Amino acid sequence: MDEWHNMQAAYSDVDDRPHEECGVFGIYGHEQAVALTYYGLVALQHRGQEAAGITSTDGSHMFSHKGLGLLTDVFKSGELEQLKGHAAIGHVRYSTAGSNTIQNAQPIALSTHARNFAIAHNGNLVNARWLRIQLEQEGSLFQTTADTEVIAHLIAKAGVDDLTEAVRLAANRIEGGFAFLILSDDELIALRDPLGLRPMVLGKLGEAYIVASESCALETVGATLLRDIEPGELVRITREGFTSMRFAERRQRRMCTFEHVYFARPDSDVDGWNVHSVRKRLGKLLAERHPADGDIVIGVPDSSVSAAAGYAEASRLPLEMGLIKNKYIARTFIQPSQALRDTGVRLKLNAVRSIVEGKRVVLIDDSIVRGTTSRRIVRLLRGAGATQVHVRISSPPYVSPCHYGIDTAKEDELIAAQHSIEEIRNLIEADSLEFLTVDELMAGFNFAPGDPVPFCNACFTRRYPTELVDQGLNEEIEPIHIGG
């Protein structure tokens, strides 16, 4: 392998983990709408780091700027000041459908004979390819390869002038996980899929209404959380105020448990549950049902810190900062030339020798997806002098890919889809390894075994709450590359 490929290998090793999904933020009725959208997106940056964008309106014109990278890459030299208006929507992206190109960055804007409108979408449709084939046969020409543009075309082709009605009709043709925002010169529309797979909250700041993927974004801009948007609810905000309707028949809720396990920020309340508190309860359950003979408890930063606190409290073992994560290693980080796998992991994480040396460590993580993180960390801890490493995971084995907006991996890359727990223990070189069961995960939300639960657990159970319509259709084609 040449140096460049070495760098790529080491880089991808650093980045080999489940990626976030997307974050959306929208506001109507505030003179600082654009700046507040930017701040709201900063709070949602953990949900996507590939691309970002904001579209605004002053009531007669729409303004838009988007680009690849973090918010600080995309808005760095006065672009924010170019966007005007009292209403705006914004997006941070991690791609699930359509690769990471500027064309696929969001919001995606469309001009029709009736109006301009823009869409920002979190989620993934399971029938987007099938719909795209129908739409292209009917004459639609797509500019992107993202599933989000399918929604935009369905709206444009709905055959009604009223935008809300067009959105309602479009929303009834799509299936999967979706929480999206539509902005036109006159209105902001927000809706959440009928199963509630993807989260969305409603808040208020003075007279302005805000919709966002997570409540931490409301907190960041000083807004009050009013409530979660209901599964199957469509919310419309205009100069006249706020209205709400159901766009789809009531269905059994299927909220994503992985938002709580890993994705959402611990300070967010998702569907009434505070994420940190859920993670802490899962850590306690892990200690009660899967104890380990250890001297200290260490959580894998950042996402497992809450679960580790719960485990330590319930097991009465000391919680230690035995691993330190470098905050400045973002996914866009490019390594210097001496790229080597081990160097890659040490750039991201360090074990603290004075804490772990001579200790039996209980290592808490929230999930094992490909298994790369746990293997590296077990090695790091042993290298720093840990005598034993017992790994405890605060969710069940991740055995099947997500089709609803979380970019994990294909089934053949998921370690638990390919191996038994004992084989995984061996592969990650741990002294012992235990996971929560699905029933134990549900106990973290106070459900007893056998209770009907309002959650999607498909990545743990392989039982998907929707038909996977696109499976078997050809993969998306790659978009045309612009700029050489």
Ligand X SMILES: O=P(O)(O)OC[C@H]1O[C@H](OP(=O)(O)OP(=O)(O)O)[C@H](O)[C@@H]1O
Which residues are identified as catalytic? 22
Out of Mg ion, ligand SF4, ligand X, none, what residue 296 binds, judged by CB under 5 to 8 A for its kind, is: none
* 318 upstream amide cis, omega within 30 of 0: no
Which of 305, 335, 21, 60 minimizes the C-alpha distance to 178?
21
Residue with tokens 């766009």: 247
Asked if residues 349 and 326 have their Cβ atoms less than 8 Å apart, the reply is yes
Site for ligand GLN in 350-409 (CB under 6 A): 405
**Residue closest to ligand GLN when measured from CB atoms:** 22
Q: Burial code of 118-148, b = ≥16 C-beta within 10 A, e = fewer? A: bbbbbbbbbbbbbbbeebeeeebebebbbbb
| Cα 47 to Cα 37, 88, 111, 369, distances in angstroms | 15, 19, 28, 17
Q: Looking at beta carbons only, is 254 or 376 nearer to ligand GLN?
A: 254
Q: How far is the CB of 259 from ligand SF4 (least distance, A)?
A: 7
Contact 200, 211 (CB under 8 A): yes
In whole angstroms, how close is the CB of 196 to Mg ion at the nearest point?
24
Smallest gap from Cβ 62 to ligand X, in A, equals 34
Which residues, in sequence order, are CB contacts of 199 under 8 Å at separation 6+?
A: 179, 192, 213, 214, 228, 255, 256, 259, 264, 270, 271
Taking the complex as a whole, the smallest distance from the CB of residue 357 to ligand SF4 amounts, in Å, to 37
The token pair at 157 is 């082709």
On whether 402 is known to bind a ligand per the annotation, the reply is yes
The set of residues, in sequence order, having a beta carbon less than 8 Å from that of 77 and lying 6+ positions away, is none
Of residues 301 through 330, those in contact with ligand X by CB under 6 A are 301-304
**Torsion over CA: 194, 195, 199, 201 (sign):** positive
Residue 283 tokens, joined: 């850590």
| Burial per residue of 199-212, b for 16 or more beta-carbon CB atoms within 10 angstroms, e otherwise | bbbbbebeebbbbb
CA distance 419 to 421: 7
Report the C-alpha gap between 371 and 355 in whole angstroms: 24
Q: Does 365 bind ligand X (CB under 6 A)?
A: yes
**Torsion angles phi and psi, residue 312, rounded to 5:** -65, -45
Judged by CB under 6 A, the stretch of 155-163, 175-183, 360-368, 433-441 that binds ligand X is 360-368
Of residues 253 through 282, those in contact with ligand SF4 by CB under 6 A are: 256-258
Smaller CB separation from ligand X, 221 or 308: 308
Residue 402 interacts, among ligand SF4, ligand GLN, Mg ion, none and using kind-specific CB cut-offs from 5 to 8 Å, with ligand SF4
Task: Please identify which residue in 49, 55, 57, 96 interacts with ligand GLN, judged by CB under 6 A.
Answer: 96
Contact pattern for ligand X over residues 171 through 210, marking x by CB under 6 A = ----------------------------------------
Region class of 255: left (phi > 0), else alpha (psi between -120 and 50), else beta: beta
402 binds ligand SF4 (CB under 6 A): yes
Among 373, 395, 400, 466, indicate the residue that binds ligand X (CB under 6 A). Answer: 373
Whether residue 391 contacts residue 363, with contact meaning beta carbons closer than 8 Å, is answered with: yes
Closest-CA residue to 406 (of 95, 191, 151, 45): 95
> Based on CB atoms, which residue is closest to ligand X, 156 or 300?
300
Within residues 9-38, the interface with ligand X by CB under 6 A covers 16-18
Stretch that binds ligand SF4, among 31-39, 65-73, 287-295, 455-463 (CB under 6 A): 455-463
The residue whose two tokens read 């409530």 is 227
Q: According to the annotation, is 366 in a ligand binding site? A: yes
Q: Is residue 456 at the binding interface for ligand SF4, with CB under 6 A as the rule? A: yes
Residue 48 beta carbon to Mg ion: minimum distance, rounded to whole angstroms: 16
456 annotated as ligand-binding: yes
Query: Kind of pairing, strands 360-365 and 455-456?
Result: unpaired
Which range binds ligand SF4 by CB under 6 A, 133-141, 301-309, 337-345, 402-410?
402-410
If one asks whether residue 404 binds ligand SF4 (CB under 6 A), the answer comes out as yes
232 binds, among Mg ion, ligand X, ligand GLN, none (CB under 5 to 8 A by kind): none
The one of ligand SF4, ligand GLN, Mg ion, none whose footprint includes residue 404, by CB under 5 to 8 A per kind, is ligand SF4
Residue from 64, 215, 257, 303 in contact with Mg ion (CB under 5 A): 303
Task: Please report, in range form, the residues annotated as the binding site for [4Fe-4S] cluster.
Answer: 256, 402, 456, 459
Rule CB under 5 A: which residues touch Mg ion? 303
Rule CB under 6 A: which residues touch ligand SF4? 177, 197, 256-258, 402, 404, 406, 456-459
Rule CB under 6 A: which residues touch ligand GLN? 21-22, 93-98, 104, 121-124, 146-148, 405
Rule CB under 6 A: which residues touch ligand X? 16-18, 262, 300-304, 365-373
